Every structure is written in C-alpha cells, then in structure tokens.
Structure 1
Amino acid sequence: MNRYRIVFAALIAFFLAPLAAPAQIALYAGFSGAPLSGTTTNWAFGPLFGAYKQTGYAANIVSIGGDVRASFLSRDNFHFYTGAAGPRVAFKLPVLPFRPYVEGLVGVGNLETDGRNSSNHFNYQVLGGLDTTLLPHLDWRVLEFDYSAASSQSFNAKILTTGLVLRLW
C-alpha cells in the first residue's frame, strides 16, 4: 500500500505550505466513471478524493491555487489508481451561481490491466469543472471532466465526476 503513503504525504505537505495570501481550503469527494481506451475494459468506476487551496479572488473574478487528489477507478480485472497535484485556476462569475475551474496535474498512476500485474507510471491530468453552492460551506461539484493518461502506455481515461466540496474557510 505504498501508493496510499505517497498520497497521504502529499496531503500533509499541501496543508503545511505557508499561506501567501488569504486562502480558502476545501476537501472534496466524488464518484467517477470513465470510458477507457487501450484496455479490455470499456468502463471503470470509483471514488475521487482531494483537497485544494486557493487565494482570494483577484478583482472578485479569478483565484489561483493548487490541488492534490487521488482517484481509484476499477472494474473486473482492471484498476487505475492515481495520485496527482498541480495548479488550479477558478473563476467567480458575476451573475451566475457557478464557479468554473481548470487544472493541470502531474503525479503517479498505478495501472493493472489483467488482474495480476500492476505497474506505476508517470500520470498527467488536464481537467475542468463546474461547482455551485448548496449551503454556505458546501458546494456541489456539478460536473468535472478529466483527461488522464499514463506515460509509456497506450492508455488514457476520460473521467466524468460529480460530488461534494466542503469549504473549510
């Protein structure tokens, strides 16, 4: 279970980093589904967990920060587990109640395609999503699209996620 220690260490480092400006910290969880290419499994499903920290909104419109996350897609004799971190840019729309965001993440992906042999690979993810507020500190992650790929493999996943975001402060 070495991959869980890596994700845990990344989460600890993320929260101990010094704050450069008034920031918002949030924890999130979601359920993901992904059509897969380069495997014998057509779809995989599983949870997504993470945390982000971002600055206040500049000009009340744009906020920058970072995100760290772990995803666990599996089905039959296949799994694709990832741990990744990277920059995050969120936008606050002046009229609509939605907050779109984009991210570019890098990390490690553990890929198992036959139920027996798993291997770790460099993983990169490009994603965007849309959050909306349900309660003062609780958001609904309406939809997130994540393109995730493992290096040196002919594998990629186009992951769709929905879930909840708890903004701590």
Structure 2
Amino acid sequence: MIRHRTLLLFALLFLVPFALHAQIGVYAGFSGAPVSGAGTNTAYGAQVGIYKQTGYAMNLISVGGDLRGTFLNHDGFHYYTGAVGPRIAFKAPILPLRPYVEGLVGVGNVQYSSNNSSTHFNYQVAGGLDMTIIPRLDWRVVEFDYSALTGQSVNAKILTTGLVLRVW
C-alpha cells in the first residue's frame, strides 16, 4: 500500500507537471540568405526541424533543445547544414507571441560547383519570433540565423518564415 502511494506521489510531483507543460514543435519554412565567401550573393531553400522544451517557469521562460536542417541553393551552389543545440523561449503575458534564441552546432556541406564540395563543422546563432494563429499552430514570423563553417570563409545570414505545429 505504501509503495502504491509513493509511486502515485512521484507521478503527481514529477511526471504530471512535465507531461502537461512539455512541448514538442515541428516546423518548416522558406529561407533566403545573403551568402559571403561563396561566389554567389544569395541562396534560397527550406528549413525543417523539431524542438522540445519544458513548461514555462513562472509562465514566462522555457528551455529546451532544437534539431534542424537548412538547405540553401542557387545556380549550382548549395549550403546544407544539420545542427542541434539549446533553445530558450519566452512567452509574452497577454500577446500570442513567443520570441526565442538558440545556439547550435553541427555539420555543414558547401558546394561551389559540381566538382568542389566540402563538409565542415558548423555553428549557428539564431533568434526569432513565433506568433500563435490557432491553438497548436504558430506562424514563424521571422527568424534570423547566422550560420558559418569552420575552415571556410563562407557564411550565411539566413532569414526564415514558416509554420510551427506544436504537437504536444
């Protein structure tokens, strides 16, 4: 009997708050970027990813992680990245806005021509603003992402807009 009460108390204190407030979001968007050091000035493409974050502490701040891929192309040039890292999101008290910041690391592949492709360590710093359209569906109004490859002079200043589906 004591064992059942202990398990119930554990579930109420530790599992239920996380289950009720944890959030998983899946997102996709269209990105455009001025590209430096690449032989092309701009590139366009998709950004896709998934994030998980905790509930909002004092209904204001949430922490979690993000896993994403960015696929930019233009005239034979491509800049593909896959990255993961921490995410901090804020919730406006009354407005349906969720600003966030992220720091990500991963790998990136850059191709200048059909014969010249290389893969390097990638780092990204991102910040953006999501706005709730309907419950569980957000519009990613804008995200700015600075993305660079180590050992290369190429970097991209990526602007993205898209949709976020908060599945849980």
Q: TM-score, normalised by structure 2?
A: 0.87
Q: Deviations over 1:99-149 (max 9, x none)?
A: 100000000000111232211100000000000001111000000000000
Equivalent residue for 1:140?
139
Distance 2:27 2:130 in 1: 11
Equivalent residue for 1:21?
18
Equivalent residue for 1:59?
58
Unaligned runs of 5+ in 1: 1-19
**Rg larger in 1 or in 2?**
2
Distance 2:135 2:38 in 1: 42
Corresponding position: 1:40 with 2:39: yes
In the TM superposition, what is the alpha-carbon distance from 1:39 to its structure 2 partner? Answer: 1.3
Distance 2:100 2:166 in 1: 15
Q: CA RMSD in A?
A: 1.1
Equivalent residue for 1:80?
79
Instruction: Report the AA paired with residue 100 of structure 2.
Output: Y
Q: TM-score, normalised by structure 1?
A: 0.86
Q: How does 1:89-108 map to 2 (within 5 A)?
A: 89-108=88-107
Q: Percent identity?
A: 68
Equivalent residue for 1:156?
155
Instruction: Report the AA paired with residue 63 of structure 2.
Output: I
Equivalent residue for 2:166?
167
Q: Deviations over 1:48-100 (max 9, x none)?
A: 00000000000000000000000100100200000000000000011332110
Distance 1:21 1:112 in 2: 43
Unaligned runs of 5+ in 2: 1-16
